């Protein structure tokens, strides 16, 4: 029987990744801006590699800012805007936060809108 592969991302999500200032550019921006993991848990390996969404996608969290993150702003302002929803993390901290939801909630790594 011929089987067609599942599309790894929907067309809509794919567009969100590839468009100007989309997810791909945003992740690259975040990892350059915060080179060191922003969680720094006991398991931390140091260099950031993932962008974590504090409000999960399933809870309506955005994977890309609705504001223009490339627009020049005072550093503290932009950092505060980013910190409401996204963190650059190392894979180990990201994994720990993802698989320990209680810990994540208690420590502000997971929120609902």
Stretch that binds Zn ion, among 6-14, 19-27, 69-77, 90-98 (CB under 5 A): 90-98
Q: Determine contact, residues 55/102, Cβ cutoff 8 Å.
A: no
d(CA 50, CA 64) in angstroms, rounded, equals: 14
Tell whether residue 54 is a contact of Zn ion (CB under 5 A).
no
Tell whether residue 97 is a contact of Zn ion (CB under 5 A).
no
Looking at 27, 51, 82, 93, which residue binds Zn ion (CB under 5 A)?
A: 93
Stretch that binds Zn ion, among 49-57, 77-85, 87-95, 99-107 (CB under 5 A): 87-95
The 8-class DSSP code of residue 36 comes to B
Tell whether residue 87 is a contact of Zn ion (CB under 5 A).
no
* Residue owning tokens 């993991």: 37
Q: Which residues contact 112 (CB under 8 A, 6 or more apart)?
A: 55, 59
> In the stretch 5-24, what mask flags binding to Zn ion with x, by CB under 5 A?
--------------------
């Amino acid at each position: 029987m011929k089987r067609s592969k599942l599309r790894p991302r929907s067309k809509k999500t794919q567009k969100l990744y590839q468009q100007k200032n989309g997810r791909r550019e945003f992740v690259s921006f975040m990892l350059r801006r915060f080179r060191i993991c922003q969680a720094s848990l006991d398991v931390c390996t140091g260099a950031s590699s993932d962008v974590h969404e504090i409000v999960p996608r399933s809870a309506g969290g955005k994977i890309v800012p609705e504001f223009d993150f490339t627009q020049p702003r005072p550093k503290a302002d932009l950092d505060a805007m980013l910190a409401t929803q996204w963190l650059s993390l190392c894979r180990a901290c990201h994994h720990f936060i993802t698989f320990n939801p209680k810990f994540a909630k208690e420590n502000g790594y997971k929120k609902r809108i």
